[in-house]
């Protein structure tokens, strides 16, 4: 087997042995424009332990990195913090190859891994608060159910205060730099926001509970090692990501509006632009996103820290345009909180779309603050005045919050 890939030393006994996926551009419907990494870690304790594996096609890269420091057969324990296949993809093959003494996962992890890999056996279930000994050091487990899967858990090494957080505090970012302090702040915030909004947003209340729990048990953390993207190793960076997570999870409304729309002949687009002018005129930051050319996962990133969601669609064959059905279904699943909004669109004769959009907004818990605006064929001066006023009304509500 090729051994061109090297392990990256984190400290005297921890090595990064993951894989960098420079090509990844679609992650189950989330556009990963900067690629990603699948992070896996080797703990060179008395019982050599592998924390998580990698997506199956990257198995050889991980094995090469492991082989650069030890014979993979020396691995005694494997810990699976998360069952999703970007981290468990080659777990069965690794188990067959290294023949570990023990493989650990949470109780739901055991169930989930068995449901993915039907021949996997003898997994040991651990629960919140459990601890295992690697001989000269311990690993403590913290279950984080539904952050973001039922099986999710953290592994904590009290010896050096290292938190292996699987998807939490992670982001999709391919880089040769392994640490957040080596990467531009702009990129960390961008990809961090995109990750939180697309993956963790529905579980915001659980994120806040977890952050409270960490504080209340006095868990000291010197390094956070997630399963995607860079490692947080400075006190400043650990505080930064914790503060971001608190801010993103609280979902307090801001003076920012997002307008999503699709259009057939430019009329709904024109209405979107005029609504935007009404908002800007009243000091609201506006992100105007044409859904024909905006990816749903980028739309959701903008919604993360906004106060208003305004959605427009023309009507095609009695329904909203497919691009709008796509993004609205996606947003509905992510359960954004504390938003005000409205719907708008032009139509030819039946015009169901605007009502459908308004109903979806209400189902999502968006506080629909004004009557929806419908304009037939091409909006006239009065229609556009109503659009400008809608912008103004929403701006006044946001400014008064």
Chain residues in the site for other proteins (CB under 8 A): 106-108, 111, 145-146, 150-151, 203, 205-206
CB half-sphere exposure, 270, CA atoms < 13 A: 18
CB 151 within 8 A of CB 114: no
116 is catalytic: no
The Cβ of residue 230 has, within 10 Å, a number of other Cβ atoms equal to: 28
In the residue annotation, 195 being an active-site residue is answered as yes
The residues, ordered by sequence, that sit 6+ positions from 326 with a Cβ below 8 Å of its Cβ are 291, 296
Catalytic residue from among 15, 38, 82, 269 = 82
Q: Tokens standing for 172?
A: 């999709």
| DSSP reduced 3-state for 44 | coil
**Minimum CB separation from other proteins for residue 206, in Å?**
7
Closest contact distance (angstroms) between CB of 72 and other proteins is: 32
C-beta closer to other proteins: residue 152 or 263:
152
Q: Residue 225: CB partners within 8 Å, gap ≥ 6?
A: 10, 39, 41, 162, 163, 164, 165, 231
Task: Verify whether residue 167 is a known catalytic residue.
Answer: yes
Does the annotation mark 82 as catalytic? Answer: yes
CA 342 to chain centre: 26
Q: Which of 195, 203, 245, 347 is catalytic?
A: 195
Nearest distance in Å: CB 123, other proteins: 15
What letters, b where the CB count within 10 A reaches 16 and e where it falls short, cover 9-43?
A: ebeebbbbbbbbbeebeebeebbbebbbbbbbbbb
**Which of the residues 2, 12, 28, 118 is marked catalytic?**
28
Q: Which two tokens stand for residue 134?
A: 């690697």
Q: Which among 284, 209, 285, 292 is positioned nearest to 246, based on CA atoms?
A: 209
Give whichever of 149 and 156 is closer to other proteins, judged by the CB atom: 149
- Compare residues 150 and 290 and give the one whose CB is closer to other proteins: 150
Residue 332: both structure tokens together: 């509905």
Number of H helices, E strands in the chain: 12, 24
Nearest approach, Cβ of residue 83 and other proteins (Å): 12
Of 209 and 295, which has the nearer Cβ to other proteins?
209
Active site residue 295: no
* One-character DSSP codes across 307-322: SEEEEEE-EETTEE-H
Helix (H, G, I), strand (E, B) or coil at 58: helix
Q: How far is the CB of 194 from other proteins (least distance, A)?
A: 24
Integer Cα distance of 77 and 86 in angstroms: 20
Q: Would you say 57 or 333 has its CB closer to other proteins?
A: 333
Q: Which is nearer to other proteins, 166 or 294 (CB)?
A: 166
**Is 228 in the active site?**
yes
Please say if 86 is a catalytic residue: yes
Q: How far is the CB of 304 from other proteins (least distance, A)?
A: 21
CA–CA gap between residue 191 and residue 109 (Å, rounded): 27
Q: Would you give the DSSP letter of residue 179?
A: B
* Alpha carbon distance, N-terminus to C-terminus of the chain: 62
Catalytic one among 21, 52, 61, 86? 86
Q: Give the active site residue among 87, 148, 172, 237.
A: 148
> In angstroms, what is the minimal distance from the CB of 203 to other proteins?
8
Catalytic residue selected from 21, 84, 143, 358? 84
Nearer to other proteins by Cβ, of 103 and 108: the residue is 108
Asked if 237 is an active-site residue, the reply is no
Q: How far is the CB of 143 from other proteins (least distance, A)?
A: 9
CB closer to other proteins, 116 vs 392: 116
Catalytic-labelled residue, pool 30, 52, 228, 358: 228
Note the maximum CA span of the chain. 77
The span from the CA of 37 to the CA of 173, in Å, is: 6
Instruction: Give the active site residues.
Output: 28, 82, 84, 86, 148, 167, 195, 228
């Amino acid at each position: 087997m090729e051994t061109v890939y090297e392990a990256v030393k984190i400290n005297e006994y921890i090595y990064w042995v993951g894989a960098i996926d420079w090509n990844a551009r679609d992650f189950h419907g989330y556009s990963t424009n900067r690629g990603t990494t699948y992070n896996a870690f080797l703990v060179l304790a008395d019982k050599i332990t592998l924390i998580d594996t990698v997506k199956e096609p990257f198995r050889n890269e991980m094995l090469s990195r492991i082989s650069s420091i030890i014979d993979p057969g020396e691995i005694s324990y494997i810990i699976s913090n998360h069952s999703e296949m970007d981290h468990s993809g080659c777990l069965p093959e690794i188990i067959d190859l290294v023949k570990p003494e023990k493989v650990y996962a949470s109780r739901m992890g055991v169930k989930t891994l068995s449901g993915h890999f039907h021949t996997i056996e003898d997994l040991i279930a651990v629960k919140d608060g459990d601890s295992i000994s690697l001989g000269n050091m311990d690993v403590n487990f913290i279950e984080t159910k539904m952050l973001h899967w039922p099986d999710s858990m953290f592994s904590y090494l009290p010896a050096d205060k290292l938190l292996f957080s699987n998807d939490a505090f992670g982001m999709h970012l391919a880089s040769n730099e392994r640490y957040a302090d080596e990467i531009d702040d702009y990129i960390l915030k961008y990809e961090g926001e995109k990750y939180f909004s697309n993956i963790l947003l529905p579980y915001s209340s659980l994120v806040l509970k977890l952050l409270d729990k960490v504080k209340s048990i006095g868990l000291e953390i010197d390094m956070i090692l997630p399963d995607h993207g860079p490692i947080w190793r400075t006190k400043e960076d650990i505080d930064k990501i914790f503060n971001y997570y608190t801010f993103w999870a609280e979902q307090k409304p801001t003076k920012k509006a997002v307008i999503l729309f699709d259009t057939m002949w430019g009329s709904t687009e024109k209405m979107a632009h005029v609504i935007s002018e009404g908002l800007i005129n009243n000091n609201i930051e506006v992100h105007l996103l044409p859904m024909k050319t905006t990816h749903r996962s980028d739309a959701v990133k903008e919604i993360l820290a906004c106060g208003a969601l305004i959605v427009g669609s023309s009507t095609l064959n009695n329904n909203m345009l497919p691009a709008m059905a796509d993004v609205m279904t996606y947003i509905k699943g992510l359960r954004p909180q504390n938003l005000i909004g409205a719907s708008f669109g032009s139509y030819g004769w039946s015009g169901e779309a605007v009502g459908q959009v308004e109903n979806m907004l209400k189902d999502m818990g968006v506080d629909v603050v004004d009557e929806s605006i419908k304009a037939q064929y091409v909006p006239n001066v009065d229609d556009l005045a109503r659009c400008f006023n809608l912008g103004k009304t929403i701006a006044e509500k946001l400014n008064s919050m």
